Structure 1
Amino acid sequence: MMVVKRSLTYIFIYLQVKKLERWLRKMKKVQRYFLDYEFSKNDKVIKIENQNSFKIILNNKKNYEINKFFYKQIGKDHFWRDRLIWTDKQWMKYSSNPLLDTWILEDNNNDLIGYYEIEKHENKEFELINMGILSEYRSKGYGSSLLTHVLKQSFDNKAEKVWVHTCSLDHKFALANYISRGFKVFKKEQIDFVA
């Protein structure tokens, strides 16, 4: 009987070690970047190029299903998981925050292309919480136009700073897009991530 218990214990330990090994193989090192854009008195009105083929509109009805849809559709390619467990009530509470604006990028046929969420903080700082383009519209310049819109709206609303964080799991051009628009990296860190 003792031998059987010991054997079962060894089998259990062996299986747990194998499970841990599989988990560790899925773990990746992810680089996270914190960036900000500080407006100066010399900044000029920002213009959005090629806006004939699309429009960027405010989700002024605070329809939480828009936020939920984009988060799931865009996020599935980039491991956005934090909000996947949210109930509709949590989504409603989040999207109805009076300090949060959700902007929607549509083509001229009203097909959804992308979005961004931006939250106003004290001290005239705005946080770009999420921004993304649906997969079928990527690599067509929409991300650049959307980020330019972020800066234009922030400038028009008297922001002194816009900040964001991105990571190596986001779109391959995300970091370059931020830097090309004048964002500066102020912090970098490496984190462990289980895919």
Structure 2
Amino acid sequence: MKTVLTKTTYLEMRAPRQTDSSPPADARSAGFRVENWHPLEVARYRWLYNSVGGDWNWGDRNRMAEHELAAILADPLVEVHVLHVDGEPAGFAELDRRQPNEVELAYFGLFPAFIGRGLGKAFLEWTVNQAWTTTPDRVWLHTCDLDHPAALNNYLRAGFEIFDERMVEQIVD
């Protein structure tokens, strides 16, 4: 396994933004719909995970033992929301509510064919609104310089603020 040194940025939101929770008109016209896939079997999850993260060196969930990942996916405090556009899966967001008073946006992204169509902003806004439904003290995430080049700016525009930055050794497959 090869490792690379990456800049990892940690972001948080301490209060929900006042936004319209419905997707914008352009997303609605694209047949924007989100489903919670629970329960979710490991093979189907890995398909989502690799479809979104394959170009961005996501690999930690592929290196995880199947029984460990199955336990995470079976936990009712872990939500996998799948974006559909015109009936076709287009991306996913994973919200982890297992820590008291916080929600981690553990994974977020679009399938490559749906990047650049204005769907990411609408889906991120929907996801953030969903994260706040249990009134946590904060919603947080981390991203790194291996992610899509627009990821950090999208999170900042959505209202997240940087609370830490670190250089981290990442395994790349």
- 1:99 is aligned to 2:77: yes
Alignment of 1:11-160 (within 5 A): 28-39=4-15, 43-47=17-21, 48-50=23-25, 51-52=27-28, 53=30, 54-108=32-86, 110-160=87-137
- The CA deviation string for residues 90-147 of structure 1, in whole angstroms up to 9 with x for no partner, is 3322211111000000112x21100010011444210011111111111112221121
Instruction: Please give the TM-score of this superposition, normalised by the length of structure 1.
Output: 0.77
**Structure with the greater relative contact order (CA < 8 A, sep ≥ 6): 1 or 2?**
2
Q: Is the 8 A contact 1:68 1:91 kept in 2?
A: no
Are 2:39 and 2:73, in contact at CA under 8 Å, matched by a contact in 1? no
One-letter code aligned to 1:120: R
- Name the SS for the 1:98 alignment partner: coil
Percent identity, aligned pairs only? 22
Aligned residues: 168
Instruction: For 1:36 and 1:121, locate their aligned partners in 2 and report how far apart those are by CA, in whole Å.
Output: 16
Higher-Rg structure is 1
Counterpart AA for 1:179: L
Deviation, structure 1 residue 150: 1.5
**What is the one-letter code of the residue matched to 1:49?**
P
Contact 2:10 2:165 in 1 (8 A): yes
Higher-strand-fraction structure: 2
Aligned match of 1:184: 161
Unaligned runs of 5+ in 1: 1-22
Return the TM-score normalized by structure 2: 0.85
